[in-house]
Amino acid sequence: MLGPRVVRLLCLVAGVDALHTPPIVLRRSGTAAMVASSQGRMPPRTGASPAYGSEGVNLEDAISRGGKRPVRASTGQARRQSGGKSRGGGMLEAAHDAAMAGDAAEAVSRVRVAMRAWSAAAPAPSEDVAAARRGGGGGAAMLAEVSLVREVNQLLRVLGDSGDLRAADDVFRCLIEARLTPTQVTYGTLIARAGTWRQPALATAYYRDMQRRGIEPDTLTHNSLINAFAKAQDLEKALEVAASMRRKGLTPTIVTYNTLLDGCARARNTTLASATLAELRKANLAPSVTISLG
């Protein structure tokens, strides 16, 4: 039997108002805007982003060090990159719709409201553990959290594809402040988008933060970090990340080598390009990119 707090939790994730929905039948009754109207809007955050990693890199500092401030993609481009439509019902549907419409500030505001509602409805950790031991609502609450984190990851992708790195960082902060657990996908999405917009310092900050939280970066995450340095023409750091992969027992893939070759082409470094091609052949792989150093 699910407790009332867990039922409320599941309703929030599904985008349903439990107070005005008939019992037993839980239907998606529109967007999460009802949460915003019933809970009120939290005031916007002021000040810089929190520090990540041992270097204490924050978003503003990372952007300045990266040298190129993101230029947000058009709404149409963001919509095409995100599949061309809203993700449907859910606790963050209104935030996702705002991001798709190009209103990053409204998206972040919606996330803050939704996370406040989540925090109010979520069982205390001790309650959740006790319920799980009884075989009751703990499992349901855990599934609800997984679903919400998945929605956050999708929103981070939309904001990141549009170049709204500050808004994506704000959403990430909301997730942490709501005591939700970021996943490999959460960090992979943030690192990949920071790399796309040539923000290697920010990508590195997220990389170190995920390690600090006990999440070990996988091959895909390492490739995203390599791409961040390659796009910034910092081949030394890109090669360091590739070497780190090997030390951790991860095997570089064709994507790893292609990314390194692309970085060599950007920096017009024929020596490193030749060395990378030699490693690629040694691994019995063939490059799937064409580079020109002439």
Spatial separation of the C-alpha atoms in residues 102 and 76, rounded to whole Å:
9
pTM, whole model, 2 decimals?
Answer: 0.69
Q: Contact at 8 Å (CB) between 243 and 252?
A: no
- Measured CA distances, 141 to 8, 138, 246 (Å): 10, 5, 38
pLDDT given at position 133: 43
Q: Give the residue, 243 or 80, on which the prediction is more confident.
A: 243
Q: Give the residue, 159 or 81, on which the prediction is more confident.
A: 159
pLDDT given at position 123: 59
Q: Average pLDDT for residues 120-148, to the nearest whole number?
A: 64
Contacts 24+ apart (CB under 8 A), 74-79: 74/102, 75/100, 75/101, 75/102, 75/162, 77/161, 77/162, 78/102, 78/158, 78/161, 78/162
Res. 272: pLDDT tops 60 = yes
Res. 116: pLDDT tops 80 = yes
Res. 252: pLDDT tops 60 = yes
Res. 224: pLDDT tops 70 = yes
Query: How do the domains of the chain map onto residue ranges?
Result: 4-44+74-181
Q: Average pLDDT for residues 76-94, to the nearest whole number?
A: 56
pLDDT tier for residue 191 given thresholds of 50, 70 and 90: very high
Q: Give the residue, 206 or 294, on which the prediction is more confident.
A: 206
pLDDT given at position 142: 78
Res. 247: pLDDT tops 90 = yes
Res. 207: pLDDT tops 90 = yes
Lowest mean pLDDT among 86-95, 228-237, 277-286: 86-95
| Chain mean pLDDT for the chain | 74
3-state secondary structure of 31: coil
pLDDT tier for residue 145 given thresholds of 50, 70 and 90: confident
Res. 57: pLDDT tops 60 = no
In total, the chain counts a number of residues equal to: 294
Res. 162: pLDDT tops 90 = yes
